[in-house]
Chain A
Amino acid sequence: MKTGSSLEFSRNAARAQADADLQAALEKLQRDTRTSRPAVTGRLPEFEDLRDRAVAIKNHTLAHLDHYLEQFEANVIDAGGKVHWCSDADGARETILQICRDADARTVGKGKSMVSEEIHLNDHLIENGLDVVETDLGEYILQLREETPSHVVMPAIHLKKEQIADTFREHHTTLDPDRPLDEPKHMTAEARTRLREKFLAADVGITGANMLIAETGSVVVVTNEGNGDLTQTLPRIHIVLATIEKAVPSIEDALSIVRILARSATGQEITCYTTFATGARRAGDLDGPEEFHVVLMDNGRTKLLESGFRDVLRCIRCGACQSACPVYGAVGGHAYGGVYGGPIGAVLTPALDGIDKAWTLPEASSFCGSCEAVCPMRIPLPDLMRRWREIAHREKLNKAATRRGLAIWAWAAKRPKLYRAGARFAVAALRLLGRRKGRFQSLPLAGGWTAMRDLPAPEGGTFVDRWHRERGA
């Protein structure tokens, strides 16, 4: 499915709502999440305390981030690795390309990395002659379909198995076209074989990092598939691409966060594989990469650190907010037009792409608060969306008609006597017009409302007037 830009959110949303397959997938996601999350968190009485602990850990780390980044770097170097600092996407892309060139690499295996999506890494490497293969099953499917992830943790959640089967038939042309592909297990067995070849052929393995542990220079990568492990272990070179806010001080801190990550992301107690990788292969090791590189990128994080949006840097990319959001649940991730959709997307995309390119996203929320309720890092997502709305309002990015309507309303609201008089009039008029049916199916200026629902008619008289008439006080 082609994704329109963030500014085209309404149009993207309309397309998403007309897509019956997508709607079925989203409904399933929401249904599953409603049961799986309470089931797994209910089994861990310490879950809420762990959320608080995780918040404290991240806040402490961010407040002293320079120290922890330097400590991390020193330990990576000590363990035989290299750290490359990159301020922006260009720098990161070029740095990674150069590492690949220096290693005479031809094939690159990739573990799942949302940051690599941010910087469009694959395209850059491919344009420069490298063969890049996504190894996460969902990402691999999307790569074949030339689509982008629609969920931070379940990238292909928007697809039906029939669509995936079609994709496999289209691309895995050396196999018997009549082979059965009706069940997920057929497809995963096929992906296993295809991608095993790629794992073995890869010269370079690129992964993201869930966490960067300062005290040891370790990089934490969690997967259910084990593709992160095969990606980092089989090739000669392991490159970790991570943004600076992934740092945590210690192993124990990392473990606290591990306890809430999978529970929030997929409803599992823990992912199948939680790997702490430190440096390149040691003397005597029979396997493992010869070189270990960490590309430590800023790409807008320091700006977030400086700003009133710092809380969003606590995000551990669990996707719980997306799974819980009723708006995401109605339109899916692609409608948001950026790398990240849903509530986290509504806060991050304006930061990464500029508010002028993404002001629609923080607008597209009913502020129901479900995101904040499930966020393991207690990020006040609705507040941050509102903060973006303030900026958009100041920069006059939202619709002029809306601003005008609001200005008129506010002007009256600040003048209670005038407001009362106007209210009396409006209520009386609407009451008169709507008295017979009790509601309006259409009303001038109320198109936004009446497009989807009737507008109830007022009872008649304002409460304040009637109260004072009756009580005389």
Chain B
Amino acid sequence: MTETPRVGLFATCLVDLYRPTVGFAAAHLLEKAGCRVDVPAAQVCCGQPAYNAGDRDNAAAIARQTIELFETFDYVVAPSGSCAGMLKLHYPDLLADDPAYAARARALAGRTWELIAFLTDILDWDGVDADWPGDVTYHDACSGLRELGVRDQPRRLLARVSGLKVNELGAPDVCCGFGGTFCIKYPEVSGAMVDRKTDDICDTGASTLLAGDLGCLMNIAGRLTRRGEKIEVRHVAEVLAGIADGPAIGQPDN
């Protein structure tokens, strides 16, 4: 790649509202990997809440908006498997019958990537320059794993963080119970699922949980603190970018 790739960073609504650090970490990694990063100001959300609620019309409207905003970039990158998956797999489906947008949706889908997979698979980059003394464990967020095949890539990059050791979960690929609005519609069932995940996390002996999706991370962090556990929760990009010295998710400022 001789030209500097122009990346439109799709921050995701949760990162935008809850944890800008993840956005900065993502931008840091992309810039280190040689990209020029832009953050279109009018971005709102990928539209999953509407899509998964069966509100196809609103989901399609949001999708059109997103396409218009991002289609001028070489790549669209999101620090989230579920949002990247929405753009990559579901936008073309959502707009398949829209003659004005069907091709544009497919085009955007072809250029959209989850952050970690983008770094390793598209940019062939592994220049992680960070350290993290300690044991972490890693949760494979469902969409990233099953829709986009993101599994080895974060582990490959974490292996480049000096001092860091990954203690694998007994069941890293089992759903944490977030599922977007699922966790709010069925709180007890979701609670049972996040409890199983939490038990698994505690059993690893790790002091930090990492994952690639903020929804999962907030769900798990919320359950850990509710249970009085001291394990910290961060987005994997924070650790890879070396900007993980601020408060962990759900922790107060010092």
Task: Please state if B177 and A464 are interface contacts (CB–CB under 8 Å).
Answer: no
A65-73, A106-114, A437-445 - the one binding chain B? A437-445
Given contacts A449-B222, A467-B23, contact A330 B146 (CB under 8 A): no
Q: For the complex formed, measure the closest distance between the CB of A102 and the CB atoms of chain B, giving whole angstroms.
A: 49
A217-225, A280-288, A386-394 - the one binding chain B? A386-394
Task: Please state if B146 and A438 are interface contacts (CB–CB under 8 Å).
Answer: no
B169 interfacial contact with A, CB 8 Å: no
Q: Using C-beta atoms within 8 Å of the partner chain, give the interface range for chain A.
A: 35 or more
A34 interfacial contact with B, CB 8 Å: yes
B118-126, B159-167, B182-190 - the one binding chain A? B182-190
Chain B residues contacting A368 (CB-CB under 8 Å) are 142, 146, 174-175, 179
* Chain B residue nearest to A383 in the complex (CB): B93
Given contacts A451-B187, A463-B11, contact A365 B179 (CB under 8 A): yes
A149 interfacial contact with B, CB 8 Å: no
Task: Please state if A366 and B54 are interface contacts (CB–CB under 8 Å).
Answer: no
Q: For the complex formed, measure the closest distance between the CB of A200 and the CB atoms of chain B, giving whole angstroms.
A: 46
Chain B residues contacting A455 (CB-CB under 8 Å) are 218, 222
User: Which residue in A366, A409, A449 is a CB contact (below 8 Å) of B142?
Assistant: A366
A416 interfacial contact with B, CB 8 Å: yes
Chain B residues contacting A432 (CB-CB under 8 Å) are none
Chain A residues contacting B219 (CB-CB under 8 Å) are 453
Number of B residues whose C-beta is below 8 Å from A?
A: 73
Task: Please state if A402 and B53 are interface contacts (CB–CB under 8 Å).
Answer: yes
Task: Please state if B253 and A435 are interface contacts (CB–CB under 8 Å).
Answer: yes
Interface of A is mostly: helix
Q: For the complex formed, measure the closest distance between the CB of A459 and the CB atoms of chain B, giving whole angstroms.
A: 5
B5 interfacial contact with A, CB 8 Å: no
The listed residue with most A CB atoms (<10 A of its CB), out of B171, B173, B250, is B250
* Chain A residue nearest to B251 in the complex (CB): A438
A268 interfacial contact with B, CB 8 Å: no
User: Which residue in B39, B147, B194, B196 is a CB contact (below 8 Å) of A452?
Assistant: B194
B24 interfacial contact with A, CB 8 Å: yes
* Chain B residue nearest to A438 in the complex (CB): B252
Task: Please state if A17 and B192 are interface contacts (CB–CB under 8 Å).
Answer: yes
B12-20, B131-139, B201-209 - the one binding chain A? B12-20
Task: Please state if A453 and B226 are interface contacts (CB–CB under 8 Å).
Answer: yes
Chain B residues contacting A367 (CB-CB under 8 Å) are 52, 142-143, 179-180, 182
* Chain B residue nearest to A423 in the complex (CB): B17
Given contacts A462-B16, A464-B16, contact A10 B186 (CB under 8 A): yes
Q: What residues make up the interface of A, taking CB atoms closer than 8 Å to B?
A: 10, 13-14, 17, 34, 326-327, 330-331, 363-370, 372-373, 386, 388-394, 398, 402, 406-407, 409-410, 412-414, 416-417, 419-420, 423, 426-427, 435-439, 441, 448-449, 451-459, 461-464, 466-468, 471, 473
Which 7 residue pairs across A and B have the least CB separation, nearest first?
A366-B179, A453-B222, A389-B54, A448-B184, A393-B54, A438-B252, A452-B191
Question: 5 A-B residue contacts at CB 8 Å?
Answer: A14-B188, A402-B53, A410-B62, A438-B247, A451-B188
